[in-house]
Every structure is written in C-alpha cells, then in structure tokens.
A and B are shown apart, each in its own frame.
Chain A
Amino acid sequence: MAKVNKALFWSLFAAGGTLTAFVFPVLALITLFAAHGNTPEIMGFEQMQGLLANWFGKLAAFGTVSLALWHAAHRLRTALYGLGLRADGIVSVVGYGIALVGTILSAYYLVQI
C-alpha cells in the first residue's frame, strides 16, 4: 500500500465505523421486522422510493452504504492480518475493490431513482 493511501483508507474506515455504530443497529431491527412481514406503513415501497427521490435521501443512503463497505473492507483487512494471513496485497485489492464497486453501484442506482 502506498503510504499516501493509509490516511485515506483510515478516514473512510473511521467515518464508516462511527456511522454504522449508530445506524446499523436500527437498520438491523427494521430488516428483522420487514423479514417477518411487519413492515410499518411508513416504510412501504412507495414511501422509501419517495425518500430516495430527493437528493438529501440519496446522499444519506449513499453515505451509509459506501462508508459501511469501506469500513468493512478495512476491518476485514486488519482482522485477516491479525489472524495471520500474510497476503495483505491481495486482501486489500479484493476488499477495497468490492467497496469501490459497491460505492459506484450504489451511486449509479441511487441516481436512477
């Protein structure tokens, strides 16, 4: 990893960590309700679509999805290294690669709504 990138990846990791710590427990709970078919009306398909139709909603969703991906990629990388897997190069490329693709895709789909 080039030295310049460390601060960049760490900042995405830190921002993602802070965000997910607050947002993900709620999201997990909502998903659990939804999985049991108890979606509250306010969270119905049309309502969600309406939320993501405005730019603030898009930005919030984009930030949540992409930062969570960067966070996970970096966490996975340090965890695998800590567990003794000495393939930091490949792990970084794959992990950060998935995060990058996810970031681009989430932007692409959000813009379509």
Chain B
Amino acid sequence: MSEVQLELEILRYDPEKDQEPHFKTYQVACREEWMILDAVNHVKDEVDTTLSYRWSCHMAVCGSCGMMIDGQPKLACKAAVKDYADKKVRIEPLANFPIERDLVVVQDDFMEKLKRVKPYIIRKEEKPIEEGEYKQSPADLKRFKQFTLCINCLCCYAACPEYALTPEFVGPAALALAHRYNADSRDQGLAERHKEISKPEGVWDCSFTDTCSIACPKHVDPASALQQLKITTTVQWYKELIGMGDK
C-alpha cells in the first residue's frame, strides 16, 4: 500500500500553560486514502493525546472540523492528504476567531449573530392545522434550497476579509441563512430580520469578494445570498421610506 509522508505543523496553544500559540511538528506516514483529519487523528491517538480539535462525522456533514490547512479554511475531513503529498502542511485553527485551545476556536460571536438574524420561519399568524400544509412549488423551493445546505462550519468567516477587518460584521453564513428564510415563501419575517440586517454592521460591510463562496465546502454560495439580500434590504428600505415597507 502506498503511503503519503506528511510533515504536519500544528498550532498548539494551552491557555493555562502557554504564553502564546506556537507550532509543533509531527511526521505522519499517511495512508494514501486518508484525509487530513485522519492524519490529525493519528497524531492524537499515537503521538500526543493532549491535542485538541473538533470533529464528529468524518463525512462533511457536522461542520465541526473546519480549520486552516496550508493557509486555507477547509474541512479536515474533506481535504485529502494526497493533495499535500510530501509537503510541510500547516494546520491552524480557523482564522478570524479567538483560539480556545489548539485547533478549537471560540464560536460565541457567530452563535450570537446567528440568533440575531432569526434563522427560522416566522409567521404573523399560524394557519389552523385543518387548513392543511403550506404548499410550495418546485420554483419556490429552488429560491432558497441551496442556502439550506450550510453546516455552520465557519470556513466562510475565516475566508472573509471584511469580517477580519470589522468583527461586528454579521458575516456570510448568518446572513446567508437570513436570506434563506426571507426567500422562503412560507416566511413572513422579512421586516423583523430587516432591523438587524439593515444596520451598518448588517449586510453592508460585504464587499462581494466572493472568497466565502470559494471556501464553502457545501457550495452554499453565501456571497450570492448576500448580494440578493442587499437588494431585498435596499428595496425594503425604500419601501419603508415611503411608508410601504413589509410589516
């Protein structure tokens, strides 16, 4: 069986012991079909059990293994070691987030922003169950389906230059989810979300660099969601100006 030799430079940081984060190097003989996550698991299982990082599904579903691999935000379980064959590979925690420990970042900022954009269906009045379900056509579904695929891995935040500059910026994944609900024909929460999204730190800081979409492992294309959201938000702003905004 062929092997891939990797030199992993993993960022280590134990807030109780270390003054500063530093790199430690590990030589790992990887099996050809391994993902970077397998290599990191190998380090934890065989070399240093204190290594901390998040992971769960190993199939690009849970969204917990996002990290900087060779400078790019990626899911460790989706990055094949073959692509880094015989190289020195830096493994760092996701950029733009405070480090909790080793490769684990503090996600509180995102969690708080996610809550603020109300990522759930809002109805002014629920219709009685006897009236049946809310029907949607395939075209209705198509308007938001792609944006439901987000797994909250935060790779897009690590890729976003505006989030790096302005930490108050609500950012790609949360805004893409806001748009996902705005674009859902069953939802009536646009005006409520608008209050958050139209703030200066809402959608406006996005400069449409598209790097979030390039980084997104699930092809959510948050940049496109944000562009559409800017249009909706502008339209709502003009409508409110003349007293005709969605309520």
Contact residues of A with B, CB < 8 Å? 1, 3-4, 6-8, 10-11, 14, 78, 81-82
* 16 more A-B residue pairs beyond the given contacts A6-B198, A7-B238, with a C-beta to C-beta distance below 8 A: A1-B200, A3-B199, A3-B200, A4-B237, A6-B200, A7-B198, A7-B204, A7-B237, A11-B234, A11-B237, A11-B238, A14-B230, A14-B234, A78-B207, A82-B162, A82-B207
Docked complex Cα distance between A81 and B200 (Å): 15
Which B145-167 residues have a C-beta within 8 angstroms of A? Answer: 161-162, 165
Q: Which residues of B contact A6 (CB under 8 A)?
A: 198, 200, 204
> What is the CB-to-nearest-CB distance from B17 to chain A, in angstroms, rounded to a whole number?
34
Q: Which of B162, B199, B230, B231 has its CB near the most chain A CB atoms (within 10 A)?
A: B230
Docked complex Cα distance between A7 and B236 (Å): 9
> What is the CB-to-nearest-CB distance from A23 to chain B, in angstroms, rounded to a whole number?
20
> What is the CB-to-nearest-CB distance from A78 to chain B, in angstroms, rounded to a whole number?
5
**What secondary structure prevails in chain B residues at the interface with A?**
helix
Tell whether, in the assembled complex, residue B165 and residue A10 are in contact, meaning their CB atoms are under 8 Å apart. Answer: no
Tell whether, in the assembled complex, residue B200 and residue A7 are in contact, meaning their CB atoms are under 8 Å apart. Answer: no
Q: Which residues of B contact A3 (CB under 8 A)?
A: 198-200
Docked complex Cα distance between A42 and B80 (Å): 61
**What secondary structure prevails in chain A residues at the interface with B?**
helix
**How many residues on chain B are close to A (CB under 8 Å)?**
14
Contact residues of B with A, CB < 8 Å? 161-162, 165, 198-200, 204, 207, 230-231, 233-234, 237-238
Q: Which residues of A contact B233 (CB under 8 A)?
A: 7
* A-B contacts, 10 listed (Cβ < 8 Å): A1-B200, A3-B200, A4-B237, A7-B204, A7-B237, A7-B238, A8-B237, A14-B231, A81-B165, A82-B207
Closest A residue by C-beta to B207: A78
Docked complex Cα distance between A81 and B204 (Å): 13
Tell whether, in the assembled complex, residue A82 and residue B200 are in contact, meaning their CB atoms are under 8 Å apart. Answer: no
Docked complex Cα distance between A81 and B161 (Å): 11
- Which of these, B161, B162, B199, B204, contacts A10 with CB under 8 Å? B204
Q: Which of A1, A7, A78, A82 has its CB near the most chain B CB atoms (within 10 A)?
A: A7
Q: Which residues of B contact A81 (CB under 8 A)?
A: 165
Closest B residue by C-beta to A3: B200
> What is the CB-to-nearest-CB distance from B213 to chain A, in angstroms, rounded to a whole number?
18
6 tightest A-B CB contacts, nearest first: A7-B237, A6-B204, A11-B234, A7-B234, A78-B207, A3-B200
Docked complex Cα distance between A87 and B234 (Å): 25
Docked complex Cα distance between A87 and B223 (Å): 26
Closest B residue by C-beta to A17: B208
Docked complex Cα distance between A11 and B227 (Å): 12
